[in-house]
Amino acid sequence: MNTLLLRPTDVLFFRDGRPMSGSLSGHGAAWPLPTVTNAALHAALHRASITDVHAHRRGRSGDYSNQTKDRDRKFGSLTTAGPFPVVDGEWLFPRPLDVGPAAEGQSPTCPTYFPVVADLPHPPSSLAKPLLYPVANSQDPSKMAPEPWWNLAAWHQYLGTRPNDAPVKFFHDSDFANTESTFGIGIDPITGTQDKKQFYSAHYLRLRENARLGLLAEAIDKVDNDKNKTRDLIPALFSTENSIIIGGQQRICTTECSNDATIPLPIGQLTNFPEHHGKFLVKWVLLTPAIFPAINFHSGGWLPSWIDISGQVQLLDGPGKNFVKRHGGTPGQRIPATLVAALTGKPLVVTGYALDSGLEDRKPGPKPTLLAVPPGSAYYFECSSAAAAESLATALNWHGNSTVITTIRNRRSTLMGEKGFGLGVCSNWMPHQIS
């Protein structure tokens, strides 16, 4: 994939769905969600003068229009991941939520929250189904707040997947960005003067000189409608210009584009998961937010759509039946694994505005508000065998079971995976035993 480093020329504005009038400040200085940078790249591709672009059909998958005139959708192959803070060339990632303030003499990357297993016949619990174990803090109460951003070495030390050759570093938001406040007024579109109604305050994000927004992107497009001949449109986009418009109020960022061989994301554990009472334990931690909507009888929300209401994982250890119909081979089997505990943070609000799509059922206007599981959230699984644990890690790690990290294989968010939601890595866990 292509690595993009965005350097703002001024402050940035990333507003969420909350109002900006009265005593509210608009919350425009938050770190941008993956939807923001994906939309910015998509708009830039449309503005660019790239010729002979493959056109897609209108409509949803399985209900495509067969009319030639409806084959006018472009750049549907765009996939992104990020943005992440990049400070002095070093990529940063959100802290795992199961790591709290470290005790004296303890490593700051060592988990402090663990699922609690009680040797009781029927332990009282108000946990949401299908959870079996609560996740509790093993340390004394503290008002100290750990740094919310970790570098790659810190993540690898936490996961236990790479030698700790590089120094472990932790960052606060103020280490690479500042928040600036300003006031604004509503404008009457007819007179061009103040509308005598609206007065608001807003927060803006100003990155420091040594900080960038790091983004991974690619847009593989067919050449002459031939699936065997492709090209990546991202280098073509930045071959003629080095700027992009991002966020609210049309803010400009200069862009450095490079095609690096290795993706700079943490590498998850693949083997050697511990055994406890005949079960092999796998933990999945989110690097980016994930969206799990309610589908039929599935509640969604914090519970992944690929886990049923009994906690059974529905992912397969091989290709699905539809893939086998098209390409042949043997379909995979359901991975024998069960979700037993979860530690999730406060949900993130994902909003947006839809332009005219040309479809009768998709009129322009505000998009539905979605709630995303925040990055750093942890999900704990019990697997029936060591092979099942390895299969689950292969299905959940963003890089699968590959050791040559050149592509993103798994995006486990039900919605907007192509925009960078649902990237995660696996590690092991052990319960906190009480009796």
pLDDT tens column, 95-148? 999 999 887 778 899 999 999 987 655 556 678 889 999 999 988 888 888 899
Q: Which amino acid is at 249?
A: Q
Q: In angstroms, rounded to a whole number, what is the distance separating the alpha carbons of residues 302 and 36?
A: 22
User: 48-62, 140-154, 227-241, 295-309: which has the minimum mean pLDDT?
Assistant: 48-62
pLDDT in the model for residue 58: 62
Q: Mean pLDDT, to the nearest integer, of 297-307?
A: 93
pLDDT in the model for residue 318: 87
Q: 335 is written with which tokens?
A: 């991975």
| b (16+ CB within 10 A) / e for 22-52 | eeeebebbbbbbbbbbbbbbbebbeebebee
Tell me the pLDDT band of 254, cut-offs 50, 70 and 90: very high
Residue 302 has pLDDT above 90, yes or no: yes
User: 69-78, 83-92, 264-273: which has the minimum mean pLDDT?
Assistant: 69-78
In degrees, rounded to 5, the angle at the alpha carbon of residue 192 between the alpha carbons of residues 189 and 193 is 115
pLDDT in the model for residue 122: 53
Q: Mean pLDDT, to the nearest integer, of 337-353?
A: 91
Q: In angstroms, rounded to a whole number, what is the distance separating the alpha carbons of residues 129 and 131?
A: 5
Tell me the pLDDT band of 389, cut-offs 50, 70 and 90: very high
Complete DSSP assignment for 169-215: -EE-GGGTEEEEEEEEEEE-TTTSSEEEEEEEEEEEEEE-TTEEEEE
Tell me the pLDDT band of 381, cut-offs 50, 70 and 90: very high
pTM beyond cutoff 0.85: yes
Tell me the pLDDT band of 342, cut-offs 50, 70 and 90: very high
Tell me the pLDDT band of 344, cut-offs 50, 70 and 90: very high
Q: What are the boundaries of each domain within the chain?
A: 2-62+73-99+146-258, 275-434
Q: In angstroms, rounded to a whole number, what is the distance separating the alpha carbons of residues 341 and 337?
A: 12
pLDDT in the model for residue 57: 67
- 169-195 residue pLDDT tens: 999 999 999 988 887 777 887 888 877
Residue 243 has pLDDT above 60, yes or no: yes
Question: Nearest Cα to 301, choosing from 370, 377, 366, 352?
Answer: 370
Query: Which one-letter DSSP state was computed for residue 404?
Result: S
Question: Nearest Cα to 315, choosing from 341, 345, 282?
Answer: 282
Question: Nearest Cα to 91, choosing from 285, 378, 288, 345?
Answer: 288
pLDDT in the model for residue 171: 95
Residue 356 has pLDDT above 80, yes or no: no
Which has more pLDDT, 355 or 234? Answer: 234
Q: In angstroms, rounded to a whole number, what is the distance separating the alpha carbons of residues 286 and 230?
A: 31
Q: What are phi and psi of 253, to 5 degrees?
A: -125, 135
Q: What CATH architecture does domain 275-434 belong to?
A: Sandwich (2.60)
For the chain, give the longest Cα–Cα distance.
Answer: 74
- 32-53 residue pLDDT tens: 999 999 999 988 988 887 777 7
Q: Which amino acid is at 326?
A: R
Q: Locate the DSSP E strands across 259-296.
A: 275-276, 279-286
